């Protein structure tokens, strides 16, 4: 499938006939995968190919209407942004409730952001390194590789111990951060494109208020595959046998982009199935996670936070949203008097309702860094906003902005970092 989609992408913009050949090749790939011998082919590659075909057909209709001439001096994204400017009601309002974040939560977000960057294999810290700003020391770390078929994502486990200072230092538990890597391989992208909403007992509510939920098919299967291993790790740390101070630690599940989506589904599984590992304190902090769950669920749960950059498109991108961007592109190619209209799509999947949704907003940029705020927009407002700044999706941007946000909260001290992003542009975009 990799060769088929790669060839299709390379020839797609050449001509209508090239696009028809590319679409036919991808359809053939979907049919072959659907009848393939492996479960992975049937459950992941085939749906992903079908979704690519659906978007490609819409885009072909639009490109074919341009009389075969593509705007070589204007990018597809620029045209989208120009079209979006015609719909100011779809912009995030400039004023929102600022989030009054507790200091401990601020520290957890910073640690989770670093861990999400580390999961890509960059800026690996050394065991024993002291984080003066967070008053923590890296105790130990483990890496668990991804599977070749993409159904098991790479994840890392890092244990931070409190510095032994103060009379009550021994009362503070260790912090175990489990970070699921975002998209780093072609197989990861096949999983991402498998975005159909399917019934998911894995994240369905049990107990006194049972219901049946639907979830992002590709990321759901990743979460189901990872759950036994991650649950075993949490249980091991919860027992106190693997911690240096023999106390039950705090657990934080985290991840960036698709990794954040998988972390959120794992957390929902524990939350909705009543798995608390003997009363262990478990949190979930995600960055740029896509919509993964359908339906309206419970009220906010303490310790479940979805951090989103103001212009990041990925947290809006379920299949209907992606498809609607091709319609928006057509609006951008039409004069304002042309009568072509676009409507914000009804999305199938959402960011979990149990999570606190906070948006990173740059107030100003100074020589010392960004002046940052974290907003708490109304969920209904956020879910009907356009976002097209793909650069803001990079985990290194999240890490830089969060670092500056923490710095500002501490009176402008030096930027908080374990090994901060010296080259923002080098980070993964997924």
DSSP-assigned letters across all residues of 217-271: HHHHHHHHHHHHHHHHHHHHHHTTTTSTT-SPPEEEEEEETHHHHHHHHHHHHHH
Cα 322 → chain centroid = 15
> Average per-residue pLDDT in the chain?
75
Contact 226, 234 (CB under 8 A): no
What is the per-residue pLDDT for 304?
95
Task: Give the three-state DSSP class for 397.
Answer: helix
- Residue 278, Cβ density class (10 Å: 0-12 exposed, 13-18 middle, ≥19 buried): exposed
Task: Give the three-state DSSP class for 140.
Answer: strand
Nearest to residue 267, comparing CAs of 211, 210, 215? 215
Nearest to residue 346, comparing CAs of 320, 382, 378, 326? 320
Q: What is the per-residue pLDDT across 62-89, written as a single tens digit (0 to 9) for each?
A: 444 433 333 333 467 788 888 888 888 7
Contact 417, 122 (CB under 8 A): no
Could you tell me the pLDDT band of residue 411, with boundaries at 50, 70 and 90?
A: low
SS3 string, 165-185, reads: CCCCHHHCCCEEEEEECCCCC
What is the per-residue pLDDT for 355?
94
pLDDT (average), residues 406-422? 51
Whole-number Å distance between alpha carbons of 428 and 289: 14
DSSP string, 349-377: -BS-TTSEEEEEEEEEEETTEEEEEEE--
β pairing state of 130-131 and 136-144: antiparallel
Whole-number Å distance between alpha carbons of 429 and 201: 31
Angle among Cα 113, 118, 119 to the nearest 5 degrees reads 100
pLDDT (average), residues 367-379? 86
Cα–Cα distance list, 346 to 334, 349, 383, 392 (Å) = 23, 9, 10, 24
* Percent of the chain's residues with pLDDT above 70: 67
Q: What is the per-residue pLDDT across 99-152, written as a single tens digit (0 to 9) for each?
A: 889 988 998 999 999 899 988 876 655 555 555 556 677 888 889 988 877 778
Cα 225 → chain centroid = 18
CATH class of 103-419: alpha beta
pLDDT (average), residues 35-61? 52
Cβ count within 10 A of residue 413: 11
Could you tell me the pLDDT band of residue 289, with boundaries at 50, 70 and 90?
A: very high
Q: Please, which contacts does 18-23 make with residues 24 or more away whose CB atoms are closer than 8 Å?
A: 19/56, 19/59, 19/60, 19/63, 19/64, 20/60, 22/56, 23/53, 23/56, 23/57, 23/60
Whole-number Å distance between alpha carbons of 70 and 333: 11
Contact 345, 321 (CB under 8 A): yes
Name 178's Cβ contacts closer than 8 Å, sequence gap at least 6. 155, 156, 157, 230, 233, 234, 251, 252, 253, 254, 263
Does residue 47 carry a pLDDT above 90? Answer: no
Structural element, H or E, at residue 294: strand 293-294
Q: What are phi and psi of 200, to 5 degrees?
A: -140, 90
Name 89's Cβ contacts closer than 8 Å, sequence gap at least 6. none
Cβ count within 10 A of residue 185: 16
Q: Where in the chain is the domain with CATH 3.40.50.1820?
A: 103-419
Strands (DSSP E) contained in 88-154 are 130-131, 136-144
Highest mean pLDDT among 285-294, 317-326, 345-354: 285-294
Highest mean pLDDT among 18-27, 119-128, 204-213, 359-368: 359-368
């Amino acid at each position: 499938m990799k060769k088929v989609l790669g060839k299709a992408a390379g020839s797609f913009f050449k001509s209508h006939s090239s696009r028809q050949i590319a679409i036919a090749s991808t359809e053939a790939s979907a049919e072959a995968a659907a009848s393939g011998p492996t479960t992975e082919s049937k459950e992941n590659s085939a749906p992903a190919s079908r979704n690519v075909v659906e978007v490609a057909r819409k885009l072909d209709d639009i490109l074919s209407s341009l009389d075969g001439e593509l705007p070589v001096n204007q990018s597809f994204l620029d045209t989208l942004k120009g079209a979006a400017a015609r719909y100011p009601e779809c912009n995030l309002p400039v004023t929102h409730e600022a989030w009054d974040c507790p200091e401990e939560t601020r520290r957890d977000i910073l640690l989770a952001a670093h861990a999400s960057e580390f999961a890509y294999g960059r800026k690996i810290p050394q065991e024993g390194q002291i984080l003066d700003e967070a008053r923590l020391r890296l105790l130990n770390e483990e890496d668990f590789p991804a599977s070749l078929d993409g159904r098991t994502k790479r994840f890392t486990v890092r244990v931070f111990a409190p510095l032994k200072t103060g009379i009550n230092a021994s009362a503070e538990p260790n912090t175990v951060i489990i970070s699921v890597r975002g998209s780093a391989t072609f197989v990861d992208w096949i999983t991402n494109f498998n975005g159909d909403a399917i019934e998911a007992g894995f994240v369905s509510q049990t107990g006194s208020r049972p219901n049946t939920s639907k979830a992002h098919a590709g990321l759901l299967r990743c979460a189901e595959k990872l759950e036994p291993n991650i649950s075993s790790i949490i249980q091991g740390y919860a027992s106190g046998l693997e911690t240096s101070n023999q106390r039950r630690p705090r657990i934080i599940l985290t991840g960036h982009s698709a990794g954040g989506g998988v972390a959120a589904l794992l957390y929902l599984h524990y939350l909705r199935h009543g798995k608390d590992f003997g009363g262990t304190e478990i949190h979930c902090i995600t960055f740029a996670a896509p919509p993964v769950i359908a339906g309206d669920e419970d009220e906010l749960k303490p310790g479940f936070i979805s951090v989103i950059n103001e212009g990041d498109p990925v947290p809006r991108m379920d299949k209907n949203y992606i498809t609607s961007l091709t319609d928006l592109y057509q609006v951008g190619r039409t004069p304002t008097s042309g009568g072509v209209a676009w409507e914000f799509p009804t999305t199938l999947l959402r960011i979990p309702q149990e999570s606190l949704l906070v948006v990173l907003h740059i107030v100003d940029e100074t020589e010392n860094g960004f002046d940052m705020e974290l907003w708490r927009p109304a969920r209904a407002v956020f879910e009907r906003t356009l976002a097209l700044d793909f650069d803001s999706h990079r985990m290194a941007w999240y890490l830089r902005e969060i670092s500056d946000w923490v710095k500002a909260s501490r009176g402008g001290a030096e930027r908080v970092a374990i090994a901060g992003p010296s080259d923002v542009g080098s980070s993964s975009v997924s």
